[in-house]
Homo-oligomer: A and B are copies of this chain.
């Protein structure tokens, strides 16, 4: 059946926006890309894009297939008892990697970041702007300490789920929480 002349449905519009967002974030970085520019590239107006995706952060999370939105998770993590923050962070992060549904998109992100300069740039900017600065500010520690937490967590899942080094691959989540949470806690203690 010829589809010419048919108005694109919401799913097609959504796909067009996501495709345009991926291109714009890759080419301009997270900081450089704008809702207005992405809307123009997708041939929709900015209000419609906002209706589908909300803010630039939310559009990035959708376009990158993040399994959760850190912007939603962070306030909850940071709100609990400060002395158990390390535990909450490690438990949440390991839990996301434990489920195949969320592990696969994370693995795809990890591969693209190690293989591709553009992907590294946009992830760096998103991570810095949206995650690390918020954590550091909330805890009153220098940003390098929030980055050290991220480095420990990313290295942990890299060896657990990609390289699959036996003691880390075979451990259950709670064993790893007990091992790594004190480190995360110490990085985030002023």
Q: Are B167 and A142 in contact (CB under 8 A)?
A: yes
Q: Name the residue in A148, A151, A162, A183 with the highest tally of chain B Cβ atoms < 10 Å from its Cβ.
A: A151
**Chain A interface mostly helix, strand, loop or mixed?**
helix
- Name the residue of chain B whose CB is nearest to the CB of A115: B111
| Complex CA–CA separation, A182 to B151 (angstroms) | 15
Q: Are A159 and B167 in contact (CB under 8 A)?
A: no
A120-B163, A155-B154, A159-B151 known; A144+B115 contact, CB < 8 A: no
Least distance between A111 CB and chain B CB atoms (Å): 5
Question: Which among A12-20, A68-76, A124-132 touches the partner chain?
Answer: A124-132
List A residues at the B interface (Cβ < 8 Å): 110-111, 113-115, 120, 123-124, 127-128, 132, 142-145, 147-148, 150-156, 158-160, 162-168, 171, 175, 179-180, 182-183, 186-187
